[in-house]
Amino acid sequence: MANYAVVDNNIVINTIVADSKEIAEEATGKTCIEYTDETPLGINWYWYDQADSYIPPANYPSWIYNLTTKSWEAPTPMPIEEGKIFEWNEETVSWDSFDLVTE
């Protein structure tokens, strides 16, 4: 038995365990792609055929997926400043800074 992602328009909509891809596709009526522990996925992940991998949903609409690091990145790198923490602001498409409070 193998694990398959059930995909519709390259979006994972479900998973199924079946003896073969053909059986999985017959049972679901959808395209099925085998996955393993080395190729994790989740519901609403995107199947990117050219990279032969699943891409998780974006943290924010403006973020860009880096195929090399296999992670979402902000359009601008997060600043690093002593005594500050930063939070992404999608409305302004920038980082907001806050003083780090230590007690």
Confirm if 39 and 57 have CB atoms less than 8 A apart. Answer: no
Q: In angstroms, rounded to a whole number, what is the distance separating the alpha carbons of residues 26 and 94?
A: 47
Same domain, 46 and 81: no
Contact assessment for residue 81 and residue 97, using Cβ atoms and an 8 Å cutoff: yes
Q: What are the structure tokens assigned to 67, written together? A: 């195929």
Per-residue pLDDT of 16-40, as tens digits, reads: 999 999 999 999 999 999 998 888 8
pLDDT per residue as tens digits for the range 47-69 = 988 878 889 999 999 999 998 88
Same domain for 74 and 50:
no
Q: 98: domain range?
A: 59-103
Whether 39 and 51 share a structural domain: yes
Let me know whether 7 and 51 are in one domain: yes
Distances (CA, A) of 53 to 39, 58, 97: 7, 15, 34
- Residues 18 and 46 placed together within one structural domain of the fold: yes
Tell whether 102 and 77 lie within a shared domain.
yes
